[in-house]
Structure 1
Amino acid sequence: MGASDPTVMTTQAVDETGEGSSRILQTRDLRKEFGGLTATDDVDFSLEEGELRCLIGPNGAGKSTFLNLLTGQLEPTAGAIYYDGHDITDLPSYERVDRGISMKFQVPSIYEGLTVAQNLRIPLQQVADGDAFEARTSEILERFDLLAEHGTVASNLSHGQQQRLEIGMAMALEPNLMLLDEPVAGLSVEETAEIADLLREISDDDGVALIVIEHDIDFVESIADRVTVLDQGSIFREGTIEAVENDPEVKRIYLGEDH
């Protein structure tokens, strides 16, 4: 996996995403095979610092597989992942978290038997202690509109509140890159708008780069700087949401001719 000379890989990682480059993430020829199935097919993907990018595409296009390769949940069959000046292709997941990559999964992975505040304290203890720990807990609770629910057991939260809690837990790790898999699935129109505002704030005010998988095109329109369309494991198109929506081939494979 990856190139045979780690020095070359390190040099390339610095050139691609290190100091002097505006990119925080670059994949090169990233491939994942499951037996005879190629789920991710030689993907070259780049992301700028602080950019909010949406990934769209039909079911089975390789979107979740791609995110799982970035987080280290899956090992690539071939190719490389460069992040913030480092080659992270072979790093385990926890080391990627330590380097500033956090993930919000499609189904909220909160601790349902713990309170909201206790859920937040689990990631926070990795980055803060003492007075800073308590201050940061309160700050996140307030920012994500969960202050009144700080003592509520997480299983008793609404679906929208659970989504906000998990995004708050991801932000507690003070990431430079956040990956989100369908963060508004099952939410109301009002809740979806709230999540859109949060993500734009995280990108614009905190300078965190985000990659968001989403099927709700209206939501994508409201947040994305750029859109990447995946199809059959490969990048099919990239551009603004306007360019992607107006592309007849994208309409054919995903958006529908009448969109």
Structure 2
Amino acid sequence: MSTPGDPNVRVTPAVAATGLDQDAVLATENVTKHFGGLTAVDSVDFTVAEGELRCLIGPNGAGKSTLLELITGQLSPTKGHVYFDGIDLTDMPAHERIDAGLSVKFQSPHIYEGLTVAQNLQIPLQRTDCDDIRSATHETLEEIELADRADTPAGDLSHGQQQRLEIGMATTLEPTLMLLDEPVAGMSVEETASVADLIRSLNDDGMAFVVIEHDMEFVRTISDQVTVLNQGSIFRQGPIEEIEADEAVQRIYLGEDA
């Protein structure tokens, strides 16, 4: 069997970018998306390391959600490639990306409101090789702090609880990387803190995250590394302390007095 170090073997770009010998689990290469005459994402090279928790910030229209949809397969790039864990995802259907270890939670909760909390968790578990769905459901309920609401219809949960439930549904698939689009939008301070604790706990267990978020206090709480998008391109990247101290970032994204 050929090995990456074998000079006679042609290593694919996906393996070269995100294979076993690489730190990156996700990499986009020159990813671009045009909508008619509008360039929503412009030649973006974006990487996420294994086990990293990275936040993606920028003003409305910066291309954050479009980039996420290109990674998850909701949109196809005009040009460029998306690599994940040694696989070229560029032309792969969205559902196959989930099977490859990529999970996503969009801003609005996508739950089954007429089913109980426990039943919502059991639906994705049926896609896995889990041999004890009841035990796995209970474990996830404890992790997302909804064990006391197991038999409650999901539609009766608060907004924050519904967001935690959907994150829990995604974690049952044991993804390598989870993408979250504004996970705390519309939440109270207490709900935001609860989601922050959940994300940090999952990250401590080795799950990588990309989190799109406008709430800078939340970003400070969960993330060490931040990528700033501007007009579809990467404007700055670095530790949260450097991003907040950057005068251009303050002026364009955070406000003059940030």
Q: How big is the shift at 1:190?
A: 1.3
- Letter of the 1:230 counterpart: L
Relative distance call for 1:20 and 1:10 in structure 2 (3 A) is: closer
Q: Pairwise mapping of residues 90-105 of structure 1 onto structure 2 (< 5 A)?
A: 90-105=91-106
What does residue 4 of structure 1 align with? none
What does residue 223 of structure 2 align with? 224
Contact 1:9 1:87 in 2 (8 A): no
Q: TM-score, normalised by structure 2?
A: 0.95
- Letter of the 1:218 counterpart: E
Relative distance call for 1:76 and 1:9 in structure 2 (3 A) is: farther
Structure 2 gaps of 5+ residues are: 1-8
C-alpha deviations, 1:19-60, integer Å up to 9, x for none?
111110110000011111111100000110000000000000
C-alpha deviations, 1:193-243, integer Å up to 9, x for none?
1111111111112x1110000001010001112000001000000001110
What does residue 65 of structure 2 align with? 64
C-alpha deviations, 1:69-92, integer Å up to 9, x for none?
111000110000110011111000
Contact 1:10 1:86 in 2 (8 A): no
SS in structure 2 opposite 1:134?
Answer: helix
SS in structure 2 opposite 1:222?
Answer: helix
Contact 1:57 1:229 in 2 (8 A): yes
- Letter of the 1:209 counterpart: A
Structure 1 gaps of 5+ residues are: 1-7
Q: How big is the shift at 1:113?
A: 1.2
- Letter of the 1:250 counterpart: V
Contact 1:196 1:222 in 2 (8 A): yes
1:156 is the counterpart of 2:156: yes
Residue identity over aligned pairs, in percent, reads: 62
Q: TM-score, normalised by structure 1?
A: 0.94
What does residue 187 of structure 1 align with? 187
C-alpha deviations, 1:168-195, integer Å up to 9, x for none?
0010111000000001111111111111
1:251 is the counterpart of 2:257: no
Contact 1:140 1:168 in 2 (8 A): yes
What does residue 235 of structure 2 align with? 236
Q: How big is the shift at 1:12?
A: 1.2
1:10 and 1:170 map into 2 onto residues whose CA distance is 32
SS in structure 2 opposite 1:81?
Answer: strand
User: Number of residues paired by the alignment?
Assistant: 250
What does residue 138 of structure 2 align with? 138
1:126 and 1:218 map into 2 onto residues whose CA distance is 36
SS in structure 1 opposite 2:12?
Answer: helix
Q: Pairwise mapping of residues 48-127 of structure 1 onto structure 2 (< 5 A)?
A: 48-127=49-128
Q: How big is the shift at 1:112?
A: 1.0
C-alpha deviations, 1:68-126, integer Å up to 9, x for none?
01110001100001100111110000100000001111011111111111111111101
Q: How big is the shift at 1:142?
A: 1.0
Q: How big is the shift at 1:128?
A: 3.5
